[in-house]
Structure 1
Amino acid sequence: MFLKSPLGIYDYYCKRCRKFSEEVCSCGNFSEKILRIAGIFSNSTADILWTTNDEQVAEKITNRKAEDLKAKRTKDKESENEKEIIKSIMNHEHKFFGYNSDKKFIVVDAEY
């Protein structure tokens, strides 16, 4: 299998509702920005969605610290940084360990 494309590297988590949401949750709370990578694997016959289950796994995949990536930046700098991270993920071979859950592969560990 090969990594077809990363979909994103950040999600927002509302601690009050205990769910993933937008930057401002429907309850009115500002959600916490977390490093959580998602993407698509392909084996030429099927595509499989995948996502990391926590920030430590995402740190292993990106080879960077979550706090450094979540630092306050301008929108332009943030999107430039995200493109650089996605490019580095695509250019390196990784080993992902995990399990299938609801049509998605959950990555619980990774080797860079």
Structure 2
Amino acid sequence: MPDPKPVPTHPALALDDTVHQRVRLGILTVLSETRECKFGTLRDELGLTDGNLNRHLRILEQAELLQVIKGYEGRRPCTWLRLTRQGRAALRAEVTALEQLVARLRNAPVDEPEADA
């Protein structure tokens, strides 16, 4: 008996709610571009408040997608952020799902305007 065909799933179902949120996707993207990033640099790059950024960082850290490193730069406290291996994989999976959605849209028939009667 032949194997049943796998049920096709829509690419939107592959989007991760933790990663897909606009600010968190931005955080992961910025962190993917560098080895590590200072809190202030990330805040300024994304135009966020300290509190807003902290809230999203906490969610990503709990999901083990990024690492928060606290220390000092001279005598001043400093926080550095680093994407984890799991974070890089989650970002790649998100981008793949988005690319699949875009491909579906590009292959969709274009709606023709209805002719006036």
Shorter-chain TM range is: under 0.3
More strand by share: 1
Which of 1 and 2 has higher RCO (CA within 8 Å, sep 6+)?
A: 2
Write 1 or 2 for the structure with the bigger share of helix. Answer: 2
The higher radius of gyration belongs to: 2
TM-score (norm 2): 0.23
